[in-house]
Structure 1
Amino acid sequence: MEKDDIKYKNYLQILNEELVPAMGCTEPISIAYAAAKAREALGAIPEKVVVEASGNIIKNVKSVIVPNTGGLKGIEASVAAGIIAGEAEMKLQVISSVKEEDKQLIKEYLSNNSIEVEFKETSFIFYIQINAFYKDSYVKVRIVNYHTNIVLIEKDGKVIYEKDANASKEEGLSDKTLLNVEDIIDFANSVDIKDIENIIGRQIEYNSRIAEEGLKNSYGANIGKVLFSTYGSDVKVRAKAKAAAGSDARMNGCELPVVIISGSGNQGMTASLPVIEYANELNVSKEKLYRAVVLSDLITIHQKTGIGRLSAYCGAISAGAGSGAGIAYLYGGGYKEIAHTIVNALSIVSGIVCDGAKASCAAKIAAGVDAGILGYHMYKQGQQFRDGDGIVKKDVEATISSVGKLAKEGMKETDKKIISIMIQ
């Protein structure tokens, strides 16, 4: 693929938009970002806050620890952190600079002020509105579709900022419909390393660091440690354990940043950390590693395009298939090996549900990575799932499309039931 090719530029822009740093689970951080913007527009610390949120936001914030809050969980903690210590200009790192004394102020704010959470019936799967009140003044800040996409800031009835939003589109982001497996492989093979060096280097550095932290200390259910202690340190185990350990730490209050994919740190770690482990095992060059990670990232994003950022379908499955593709690439695989790896992986674990961000995400990540690795080794041994085997279609693009329909359309009622169970 030539540098002046429209797809080359498009793929590069997608990477720049999607692979951004974030500290903490991205849905609570998005709420903290909206709260920080509301305080900024209000010009005062609000006395009362009403949060309107879609079911998927409530689901993904309910059980996860918000970093830099001293172990607090949920929407209320996210709001308080954003109001008291948020730096809105930092976006998804909005509460990365919280001081120790701020943590006590956050707890005091929660104790002394009213924060109400309302379930919002809306066509937007991703919907957050912060309504902040101080004396006779109020501010509304609304985010839809993705984590930093503010579409409304209103103060005392006057619109300060507004832009159109469509529930089926992600306005302001690059067109992802140009993604396909064959062209992604071409891009991974031909991209000028200088064009991706900083962004992929940062992904490798940040995500490796939080994985090591997850193994070093105790977080959540310590899935990474359990994998090591149970199964040893074979590369297949390391690939799963490192990705799981990163999630152990991130879901349970670790204050280190990660580089996300499709708005998800878990997906950003799952797409990269297993590939890094296999690259170390195979002793490949830095350039080969970078190309393999780019491949995994874009394969993950390609799958998520048809699914959406939030759904009842666990995004770690998409990233696990992406990492399997990256591992196949490290072994010298081309289109055939990579395509069959993806199809096999998706056949194994599609259907694992997303019941919100929490400690068990790490175990689901391990399952997704395991399926990616198995998918590759199946094909190497002449085994594969074929057209007509359940949701498997005649080629990789058709299979990815099938999974997208399953996740986005077929699992709508599943999503509603999950949310209902969680908020009863």
Structure 2
Amino acid sequence: MNKIELLELLHQEVVPALGCTEPVAVALSTATAAELVGGAIEKIEIIVNPSIYKNGMAVGIPGFKHVGLNYAAALGALLSNPKDKLQLFNKITDEISKKTIELIEKKLVIVTIDRSKEVLYIEAIIKTTEGTARCIIKNSHDNIFLIEKNGVLLSEQKELTILDNQLYKRLSDLKIEEIVRIIDSCTEEELLFMYDGVLMNTALADFGLSEQNKDGLGIAHSLKKLTKNDVLGDTLFSRIMVKVASASESRMSGCPYSAMSSAGSGNHGLTTIIPVVEFAKYMESEKIKLLRALAIAHTLNVYIKQFSGKLSATCGCGVAAATSASSAMVYLMNGSTNQMGKTIINMIANLTGMICDGGKIGCALKLATASNAAVMSAYLAYSDIVIPSSNGICASTPEDTVKNLGRVSKLGMQTTDKVILDIMLEKVMNNN
């Protein structure tokens, strides 16, 4: 992989998203289908893989008071604005909200789970007074794989998985030091787009801590109070925890601020960016150093996700995003690539057991915990402390440790993922 290819990958994987990416991806599928066919909506059918359902079940939708993929699907169909991609919720009005609720109350929206679909999968079928349309999103949240109108295929991609894409295959073959070497060759101008994420995610965190924000459970505000005494104190650890928790809690509650995502996830973007920004402030790093550290964090996040899976039973914010941020922290301390690899091993040894039980307000706690662990692991690695390869799933290299993580995440936790979803579905049934 060369510099041009890596920058292309970063431009693909670091994009703004308004709201949790699972509901907005479902909305994108219905918006695409609805725009194709036009007319008054008579029925909407949504078929998703288990992870999409799990991550979209309880998370807030910006500018809307209800949660659930059925509402997201109806909103997308009524908005019919696929050109806005993952920021399409920015057009929600009171009238759209009213019509959405009417569609749900009339039971015109059906959401089902296809457990045979292991990769990210969303299929939307819309029937209107003008005809029918179908849209399939696959492999990534904004990747429109197929569109069909009145039974006529309009476009379809070749059947490729993410790892079949040569850009991602080349990334997964790299070693950590090779990734760092490529990014170190990038100029400030080439990486300046990284700063958009700094501004966007910092604004989200600041909004969450503002007095005007009344959404969420008060997790970030409560943690903030603890920084004023000796429970947490005003430290680098506590500042990172509070800001990450604030941004996640606001986003999961459906606040009207966009987040810069990473590897298809807004929460990954928060965990990848905010801790690195706060650490750079603490280190008084130059702007080019921060930009490169952010590029390293995003690239490693995408790299780890190639092995752990786009959506899985392990918390990607912990095992991928926070791990990548931790490695970037070592970089900001001018640590060696060997030490950056050590913190990856430390993080995987520490957080691999953190499960993903869907997108929700409670993610704020997981992100705070993972970010705290990232700082700890970075300082340990910088002191050349690393969990030995004789321990658990750790290997002698960070690359092999990531591969072991992938085996646990993709193979070892399949039953775990099924049980998690079963528990969540039982709650839905009990509430109906």
Q: Shift in Å at residue 171 of structure 1?
A: 5.2
Counterpart secondary structure, 1:116: strand
Amino acid at match of 1:279: A
Identify the residue that residue 429 of structure 2 maps to in structure 1: none
* Compared CA separation, residues 335 and 223, structure 1 to 2 (3 A): same
Structure 1 residue 34 corresponds to structure 2 residue 29: yes
Higher alpha-carbon deviation: 294-303 or 178-187: 178-187
How far apart are the structure 2 equivalents of 1:415 and 1:286? Answer: 41
C-alpha separation between the residues in 2 aligned to 1:291 and 1:58?
A: 35
Matched, 1:232 2:233: yes
Q: CA deviation at 1:136?
A: 7.2
Equivalent pair of 2:50/2:114 in contact (CA under 8 Å) = yes
1:222 aligns with 2:223: no
RMSD: 1.8
CA distance in 1, matches of 2:166, 2:73: 26
Aligned length: 417
**1:3 aligned residue:** none
Q: Which amino acid aligns with 1:105?
A: K
Q: Distance between the aligned counterparts of 2:337 and 2:166, measured in 1?
A: 31
Give the C-alpha shift of residue 169 in structure 1.
4.4
Q: Distance in 2 between matches of 1:45 and 1:68?
A: 23
- The 1:244–1:393 alpha-carbon spacing in structure 2 relative to 1, beyond 3 Å, is same
**Structure 1 position 31, deviation (Å):** 0.5
70, 74, 79: which one aligns with 1:76? 70
SS of residue paired to 1:392: coil
After TM superposition, give the deviation of residue 264 of structure 1 in Å.
0.4
Q: CA deviation at 1:164?
A: 2.5
Q: Which segment drifts farther, 221-230 or 303-312? A: 221-230
1:355 corresponds to = 357
In the alignment, which residue of structure 2 is the partner of 1:87?
Answer: 81
Tell whether the 8 Å contact from 2:3 to 2:183 is kept in structure 1 after alignment. no
Q: What is the CA distance between 1:26 and its match in structure 2? A: 0.4
**Contact 2:335/2:382 (8 A) holds in 1:** no
Secondary structure of 2:112's aligned partner: strand
Determine whether 1:97 maps to 2:91: yes
What is the correspondence of 1:403-414 to structure 2 with a 5 Å cutoff?
403-414=405-416
Aligned position for 2:322: 320
Correspondence for 1:50: 45
2:58: which partner in 1?
63
- TM-score normalized with structure 1 length: 0.94
**1:259-301 Cα distance to aligned partner (Å, 9 max, x none):** 1111001011101101111111222211111111111111211
Residues in 2 aligned to 1:300 and 1:222: alpha-carbon distance in whole angstroms: 29
Verify the 8 A CA contact 2:34 2:80 in the aligned structure 1: no
**CA-CA distance at 1:183 after TM superposition:** 1.3
Q: TM-score, normalised by structure 2?
A: 0.92
1:346-368 deviation per Cα after TM superposition (whole angstroms, max 9, x unaligned): 11111211111001111111121
Contact residue 295 and residue 326 of structure 1 kept, 8 A: yes
Q: Distance in 2 between matches of 1:320 and 1:135?
A: 48
Residue 295 of structure 1: aligned partner: 296
Give the AA of the match of 1:295.
I
When residues 59 and 387 of structure 1 are mapped into structure 2, their CA distance, relative to the original with a 3 A threshold, is same
Report if aligned partners of 2:39, 2:129 keep a CA contact under 8 Å in 1.
Answer: no
Which aligned pairs between 1:179-198 and structure 2 lie closer than 5 A? Answer: 179-197=174-192
Supply the AA of the counterpart residue of 1:324. Answer: S
In structure 2, the partner of 1:211 is 205
CA distance in 2, matches of 1:173, 1:186: 17
Q: Distance in 2 between matches of 1:179 and 1:380?
A: 22
Distance change (3 Å), C-alpha of 1:220 and 1:170: farther
Instruction: Pick closer, same or farther for the CA change 1:333–1:92 going to 2, 3 Å.
Output: same
The CA deviation string for residues 11-52 of structure 1, in whole angstroms up to 9 with x for no partner, is 111101000111000010000001111111111232111111
Assess if the C-alpha contact under 8 Å between 1:200 and 1:290 holds in 2.
yes
Q: 1:142 to 1:170 in 2, by over 3 A?
A: farther
Question: Which secondary structure does the structure 1 equivalent of 2:89 belong to?
Answer: coil
Per-residue CA deviations over 1:28-79 (Å, capped at 9, x if unaligned) read 000000111111111123211111111111101110011122x210111101
Given that residues 25 and 141 in structure 2 are in contact (C-alpha distance below 8 angstroms), is that contact kept between their aligned partners in structure 1? yes
Distance of aligned partners of 1:118 and 1:386 in 2 relative to their CA distance in 1, 3 Å threshold: same
| Contact 1:154 1:161 (8 Å CA) reproduced | yes
- Letter in structure 2 aligned against 1:45: A
| Residue 255 of structure 1: aligned partner | 256
Distance in structure 2 (CA, Å) of the matches to 1:171 and 1:129 = 22
Q: Aligned ranges for residues 115-126 of structure 1 at < 5 Å?
A: 115-126=109-120
C-alpha deviation, 1:223, in angstroms: 2.8
Deviates more, 1:352-361 or 1:93-102: 93-102
| Structure 1 unaligned regions, length at least 5 | 1-5
SS for the counterpart of 2:122 is strand
Kept in 2, the 8 Å contact 1:165–1:171? The answer is no
Gaps of 5+ in 2: 227-231, 427-432
Deviations 1:78-98, CA, capped at 9 Å, x for gaps:
011111224111111112122
Whole-angstrom CA distance in 1 between matches of 2:31 and 2:15? 19
